[in-house]
Amino acid sequence: MGDFWWMIWEKNVPLIVMVTALTEHGKVMCDQYWPPEQGTGCYGTVQVTTVSCQRHPEYYITTIRLQQGFWAVRHVTHYHYPLWPDQGVPQTASSLCTFTEHVQQYLDNITGHGPSVLHCSAGVGRSGTFVALLWLLQLCARGIPPNVHLAVQDLRKRRVMMVQNIEQYKFVHQCLLHWLGGETSKPGCDSLAAPVPLHHGSRQ
């Protein structure tokens, strides 16, 4: 945890997106690396304080204060979506689309910071699906036709197993169709029908 928070400090990270529950079916998926609300913890040389938490029906937005030494202080926003099962998909596309749009709005309003951090448990299935969806929604917003097949191919060239299985691959399509209103006549929807490159249990 000390190394994690030092990375956040060193890279001047403004946003952490977490798309996993802490536990699932009694199995620890991720340690809680931030203190409880109004709590403070020291992780290595970084003092971490949870300032506040906004509780939405399906996700949480937490403001975290970091301090290094006596005077250096920064704030990080932590978006947590715990309803996404390991190696699966959320129950509805609308839920994840709402969360993704909220994250995008936050990204649109920050300047002068380093990269954002996204994680699940293994960092490939849910993380890859979220990256693909956020990327394609950004293209749609710019009037560029989204192509799920090419997006996932490109992600997998950079990190293996991104978008881990066929269900997650299909779910990206479902989210895009939901975001576009479900009207196949809208610009870019034809490219959603690109051939599916994955198979059940694929580790390609």
d(CA 31, CA 22): 6
d(CA 89, CA 120): 13
Centre a 10 Å sphere on the Cβ of residue 161 and count the other Cβ atoms it contains. Answer: 17
d(CA 124, CA 86): 11
d(CA 78, CA 64): 7
Which positions are catalytic?
120
Buried b / exposed e along 99-131 (16+ C-beta atoms within 10 A): bbeebeebeeeeeeeeebbbbbbeebbbbbbbb
Concatenating the DSSP letter of every residue in 61-95 gives EEEEEEEETTTEEEEEEEEE-----TTS--S-HHH
d(CA 23, CA 141): 35
